Amino acid sequence: MAGIYIHIPFCKQACHYCDFHFSTSLKNKDAFLISLKKEIELQKNYLEASKISTIYFGGGTPSLLSESELMHIFDTLNSHFEIAPDAEITLEANPDDLSLKKIKELKHTPVNRLSVGIQSFFDEDLVLMNRAHTSKEALSVVQTSQDAGFENITIDLIYGIQTLTNEKWKHNLQTAFDLQVKHISSYCLTVEAKTALSNFIKTGKVKNVDEQQSIEQFEIMVEKMKENDFIHYEISNFCKKDYHSKHNSNYWLKENYLGLGPSAHSYNGISRQWNISNNALYIQSLENNKLNFEEETLTAAQKYNEYILTSLRTIWGTDLNCIKTIFGTDYLTYCIKESEKYISEGKLLNQENKLFLTEKGKLLADKIASDLFYISD
C-alpha cells in the first residue's frame, strides 16, 4: 500500500530552529488550496492505482485549516484515489490551534491521528524556540483531545535545548507518560543554517547546543521509554504496542508515496521528485495546469544507500538477504565487510542475517550508515 503526504506551507509565526518550507503570510492560502486540488488531479496516476493506506498532513501548520477546507481536500482525494477504510490519517497541530471547538471540528473529518508539536512543557524552552503556545496549553490540549475521542495521539518533544537541564528533561518525559499518549517522537535540537537560532548563536545571543548534554538526554530518554513500555522502533520514535506511525514506517520500509504541496517529495521506487519550494510559483504553475518539480532517477548505489540509511535506524534492521536479492552479491559483500568494524566495537549486531544498531550504536547512527554507503565511480 502507498501513502500520501500533504504539505501545508503556512505558520502563524516562525520557530527559531525550523528550516522547513513555510510562510507566515496567509494571503495566498485560498489560492494554494485551489492549486493543491489541481495537483491532486494531475498526480492521480503517480501511484499507479495503489490503495492508499496513510495520509499525512504536515507543514507548516496544517491545523490552520478549517473543517470545510480539510473536507474539500478529502473530497478531492477520494475522487482520484482509493483510500483504505482503515487508513491512518494524521494531522500535525500546534497546541495554540487546538481549542475545544477546533478539536470537535477535527472529529467531524476523517482525521484519526493527531501529531501535536509540544516540544517542551516548560515556558522558558518554548520562548527560546519562539513557539506560539504555552506549557499550560501543551498540557491541556492533549487531555482535551483525548476526552473528545482522539485515542491515537503522538507528541513531539525536543531535547538538547540550551535551557533544558537533565532534570527538566526527565520532567518532560514523565509528563508525557502521565498523559498516556501512545506515541512520542523526540528529536535533538539541531542548528540549521539560515535559521534565527543559527544567527543567535553566531552573534552570541544564545549559547550553542551542548553535544554532551544532548547525548546524556538521549540516553535518559531511551532508559525512561523502556521503563514505561515504549517500543524504540526508530531512532527518534517510540510507541506503545501497535501504535507505530504507519506513514513514517512506509518511508523507512521503502513503500511508494506521493508528496503534494510546495517542497513535498515523492518516491515511486524508481525515481524521486520534489516540488518547488516557493508558494507563488507553485500556485502559478498549477493555475496553468502544470506541475513544477525536479526529478532524479535513482541509481542502484543510491537505492542501496537509502535502504541502509533508513532501515538501519529501525527496529526491523537492515536485511542482508534483501540486499543480496535486490542489489546483488557485490553490495552484500561490501556491506558485510564495512560492518565488521562496528560489530567488533559493539555498535552493530548481526542477528538472523540482519544488522541492528546497539544502544551504543544508536548514538552514531548517521556515521555508521554513511560508512556502509556504497560509493560508485
Report pLDDT for 133.
92
**Residue 266: inside a domain:** no
Same domain (yes/no): 186, 327: no
Range of the domain at 192: 2-251
Q: Of the candidates 236, 251, 266, which is a domain's last residue?
A: 251
Question: In 3-state terms, what secondary structure has residue 325?
Answer: helix
Same domain (yes/no): 93, 208: yes
Q: Is the pLDDT of residue 377 over 70?
A: no
**Residue 100: inside a domain:** yes
Q: Are 17 and 195 in contact (CB under 8 A)?
A: yes
Same domain (yes/no): 108, 215: yes
Per residue in 306-333, pLDDT (tens digit) is: 999 999 999 999 999 999 999 999 999 9
**Residue 218: inside a domain:** yes
Question: What is the CATH number for 325?
Answer: 1.10.10
Report pLDDT for 21.
85
Question: What is the CATH number for 141?
Answer: 3.20.20.70
Same domain (yes/no): 194, 333: no
Q: Are 4 and 257 in contact (CB under 8 A)?
A: yes
Residues 203-232 as b/e (b if ≥16 CB within 10 A, e otherwise) read: eeebeebeeebbeebbebbbebbeeeebbb
**Residue 120: inside a domain:** yes
Q: Of the candidates 219, 251, 283, which is a domain's last residue?
A: 251
**Residue 282: inside a domain:** no
Whether a cis peptide bond, with omega within 30° of 0, leads into 60 is: yes
Tally of structural domains, the chain: 2
Report pLDDT for 253.
87
Q: What is the pTM of this model?
A: 0.95
Q: Of the candidates 213, 228, 251, which is a domain's last residue?
A: 251
Percentage of residues in the chain with pLDDT exceeding 90? 89
**Residue 158: inside a domain:** yes
Report pLDDT for 303.
95
Same domain (yes/no): 7, 142: yes
Mean of pLDDT over the chain: 95
Which residue is listed with cell 498516556?
180
Report pLDDT for 20.
84
**Residue 280: inside a domain:** no
**Residue 262: inside a domain:** no
Alpha-carbon 191 to chain mean position: 17
Average pLDDT for residues 277-305, to the nearest whole number?
A: 96
Per residue in 143-198, pLDDT (tens digit) is: 999 999 999 999 999 999 999 999 999 999 999 999 999 999 999 999 898 899 88
Same domain (yes/no): 247, 315: no
Report pLDDT for 24.
86
Same domain (yes/no): 347, 232: no
